[in-house]
Amino acid sequence: MSRRERPYLFYSATRALCSTCLEVVDAKELIEDGKVFLWKRCMKHGVQRVLLSDDVDYFRLCREVYLKKPEQPDHYNTGVNYGCPYDCGICPDHEQHGCVSVLEITDNCNLRCPTCFAHSGPDRSTHRSLATIESMLDLIVRNEGEPDVVQVSGGEPTMHPHFFEVLDACRRRPIHHLMVNTNGIRIAREDGFAERLASYEPGFEIYLQLDGVDDVAHQVLRGAKLFEIKSRALARLEALNLSTTLVVTLRRDLNEDSIGAIIDFARSYRCVRGVTFQPVYDEGRNEGFDPAVHRLTLSEVRRRIYEQSPTFTPADIIPVPCHPDSVAMAYAVRGAGDDFARLSPLTRYMPADVLIEGGRNTIIYEGDPALLENMRARIYETFSTAHGPEGASKALGELMCCLPRIETLPDLSYDRVFRVIIMQFLDRHSMDLRSVRKTCVHIAHRDGKRMIPFDTYNLLYREPEQQEQLVTLRARARP
Ligand code: SF4
Ligand code: SF4
């Protein structure tokens, strides 16, 4: 007699959130038809099945190879009272320090995008006071010591009436790399604005929202034809060679086929240090989004990158060890001089064991001398074989995954680096309580007391009504 079989491989058991009521539920990870699904059962809302990955080999690489001992923050800010994700944070059960610390300084924005996890817009006029911002910055420094990256965000941070005083307050602290997360409108429209931003270099970068190389995706995601204004902002940044990362929100059936064109567009600007692709994260305002139709996973974005941009191969887009499920990276070096648009990928020369055993488990690799030495040797080899004796003298001063630090070396400065990042946040559909513990993007709460993982902040901790719901969820978790 043959036994009945289920049509999948049972990979593991985990805990997740019901997409409807946000209560913690039991879940399984299942492999079926070359895909990985999160299967969860809520006693009230039934079974839910969510696609996690369409690339089983890559999924297993993240889960079984790119493992490192978790590096911790200097402080925990909350105790363990109700269980994850109701104790944020950072509570002692979290498994990664904040590689990126986000400082939100306003709810106001000069756009009202149909897709905005922060619910921002012209109708919201609340700005954090400078005193509150100082306490949020102190919190970041208390947790991180010398924060690798602080990202000033909002809302639209440039709308804060004391925006440059906020940048000054950041500069008074030991922050290695400071970024401004912006839609670029003030840069495009106001003479002298980009120049004033450039005065914060080095260790300063613009994180510029751009959803395509025409108006189609901007109209849907941002509610306006913005490509011309983004181009004007970029022209000003290019004139100053002010380090810029382009940040692209991707939605299935909208701009997933524009990835190659966006990379080509990005490489044509000398000031652009790379592109970060973010599949739509279904929290906050997300008009017209149907999770059954529009969700995109990290593995799907990864495949589209190497299909649409043949410069990169699968071997170039690798998991980032601090949070491999959610972050992938590819590094390339730009050509010298007028040849700056030519990209030579490097990541394929970084064996997993070098990254994993290299020492420091952080988003910034330059702090690890052993890893750096190894990479120098590899890059020396690469250039000596591929680009002749002139290239053989090149050395890479530092390598980072998600976000950069600037160090000028005699013959390979930061403006030769070009990186492609995929950053996938966990929303109510994909929230896996195993994975969320490794989130390394932490938001400073305005109370100046808590650093909260980006993924859970937008789900449970941002708005007053979410905090009311959290009280109920906590009561159910620990009656
Ligand atoms: S997400 Fe992290 S900080 Fe929040 S409750 Fe879970 S383990 Fe703690
Ligand atoms: S997504 Fe950014 S630009 Fe759009 S409304 Fe929100 S804060 Fe403003």
Structural domains present in the chain: 9-70+428-477 (no CATH), 100-423 (3.20.20.70)
Is the CB of residue 221 below 6 angstroms from any atom belonging to ligand 2? no
Q: Are 326 and 426 in contact (CB under 8 A)?
A: yes
Hey, whose CA ends up nearest to atom 6 of ligand 2? 116
In which order are the strands placed within the sheet that holds 35-42?
9-17, 24-32, 35-42, 46-53
Mean pLDDT of 323-352: 84
- CA of 69 from ligand 1 middle (Å) equals 17
Q: Are 325 and 435 in contact (CB under 8 A)?
A: yes
Mean pLDDT of 338-343: 89
Q: How far apart are CA 312 and CA 307, in angstroms?
A: 8
Is the CB of residue 154 below 6 angstroms from any atom belonging to ligand 2? yes
Ligand 2, pocket-test mutation among 105, 110, 120, most atoms within 8 A of CB = 120
Mean pLDDT of 23-41: 97
pLDDT range class, residue 332, cuts 50, 70, 90: confident
- CA of 83 from ligand 1 middle (Å) equals 8
Hey, whose CA ends up nearest to atom 2 of ligand 1? 94
pLDDT at residue 223 tops 50: yes
- CA of 93 from ligand 1 middle (Å) equals 6
Query: Which segments of 156-258 does DSSP mark as H helices, in order?
Result: 163-171, 185-189, 193-198, 216-222, 227-240
DSSP letters, 265-330, are: HHHTSTTEEEEEEEE---SSEETT--HHHH---HHHHHHHHHHH-TT--GGGSEE-TTSTTTEEEE
Mean pLDDT of 19-30: 97
Q: Is 261 helix (H, G, I), strand (E, B) or coil?
A: helix
Instruction: Compute CA distances 425 → 52, 99, 285, 323, 406, whole Å.
Output: 12, 14, 15, 11, 26
Q: Are 435 and 441 in contact (CB under 8 A)?
A: no
Instruction: Compute CA distances 19 → 88, 376, 467, whole Å.
Output: 19, 46, 17
Report residue 10 as tokens: 């049972």
Ligand 2, pocket-test mutation among 102, 111, 209, 458, most atoms within 8 A of CB = 111
If one compares 374 and 342, the residue with the highest pLDDT of the two is 342
Report the pLDDT value the prediction gives residue 258, as an integer from 0 to 100: 97
pLDDT at residue 395 tops 70: no
Q: Which ligand is nearest to the CA of 107?
A: 2
Q: How far apart are CA 302 and CA 445, in angstroms?
A: 32
Ligand 1, pocket-test mutation among 82, 326, 437, most atoms within 8 A of CB = 437
Report the pLDDT value the prediction gives residue 362, as an integer from 0 to 100: 41
Least confident among 174-178, 194-198, 205-209, 284-288: 284-288
Is the CB of residue 109 below 6 angstroms from any atom belonging to ligand 2? yes
Ligand 2 atom closest to the CA of 155, numbered from 1:
7
Packed helices 163-171 and 130-144: angle between N→C axes, nearest 10 degrees: 30
Q: How far apart are CA 438 and CA 454, in angstroms?
A: 11
Is the CB of residue 111 below 6 angstroms from any atom belonging to ligand 2? yes
Q: Are 269 and 420 in contact (CB under 8 A)?
A: no
pLDDT at residue 363 tops 60: no
Least confident among 6-20, 237-251, 403-417, 447-461: 403-417
Query: Which segments of 148-192 does DSSP mark as H helices, in order?
Result: 163-171, 185-189
